[in-house]
Chain A
Amino acid sequence: KAGVTQTPRYLIKTRGQQVTLSCSPISGHRSVSWYQQTPGQGLQFLFEYFSETQRNKGNFPGRFSGRQFSNSRSEMNVSTLELGDSALYLCASSLENVGKRNSPLHFGNGTRLTVT
Chain B
Amino acid sequence: EDQVTQSPEALRLQEGESSSLNCSYTVSGLRGLFWYRQDPGKGPEFLFTLYSAGEEKEKERLKATLTKKESFLHITAPKPEDSATYLCAVRNSGAGSYQLTFGKGTKLSVIP
Task: Give me the interface of A with B, judged by CB distance under 8 Å.
Answer: 4, 31, 33, 35, 42-45, 48, 55-56, 58, 90, 92, 94, 96, 101-110
Stretch of B17-25, B64-72, B95-103 at the chain-chain interface: B95-103
Q: Which residues of B contact A45 (CB under 8 A)?
A: 99-101
Q: Could you tell me the distance between the alpha carbons of A42 and B99 in the complex, rounded to whole angstroms?
A: 15
Q: A33-B99, A45-B100, A102-B32 are in contact. Are A109 and B49 (CB under 8 A)?
A: no
Residues from chain A with Cβ under 8 Å of B91 in the complex = 102
B55 within 8 A of A: no
The reply to whether B99 and A109 form a contact with Cβ atoms under 8 Å apart is no
- Across the interface, name the chain B residue whose C-beta is closest to A102: B32
Beta-carbon contact of B43 and A96 below 8 Å: no
Task: Establish whether residues A106 and B46, one from each chain, have CB atoms under 8 Å apart when the complex forms.
Answer: yes
Q: Which residues of A contact B96 (CB under 8 A)?
A: 55-56
> Does B43 contact A109, Cβ atoms closer than 8 Å?
yes
Given contacts A42-B103, A42-B104, A102-B31, whether A107 and B43 have CB atoms under 8 Å apart is yes
CA distance A103 to B51 in the complex (A): 11
Contacts of B89 in A (CB 8 A): 43
Q: Which residues of A contact B45 (CB under 8 A)?
A: 107
Q: In the complex, what's the smallest C-beta–C-beta distance from B47 to chain A, in angstroms?
A: 9
Tell me whether A33 and B98 are in contact (CB under 8 A). yes
Q: In the complex, what residues of B have CB within 8 A of residue A109's CB? A: 41-43
Q: Which of B41, B49, B105 contacts A42, CB < 8 Å?
A: B105
Cα-based distance from A29 to B87 in the complex (angstroms) = 23
Q: Which residue of A lies closest to B101 (CB)?
A: A45
In the assembled complex, the CB of A45 is this many whole angstroms from the nearest CB of chain B, namely 5
In the complex, the answer to whether B98 meets A94 with C-beta atoms within 8 Å is yes
Give every chain B residue within 8 A of A110 (Cβ-Cβ). Answer: 42-43
Q: Knowing A43-B87, A102-B49 touch, does A108 contact B99 (C-beta < 8 A)?
A: no
Determine the distance from Cα of A55 to Cα of B94 in the docked complex, in whole angstroms: 12
- Does B86 make an interface contact (CB < 8 A)? no
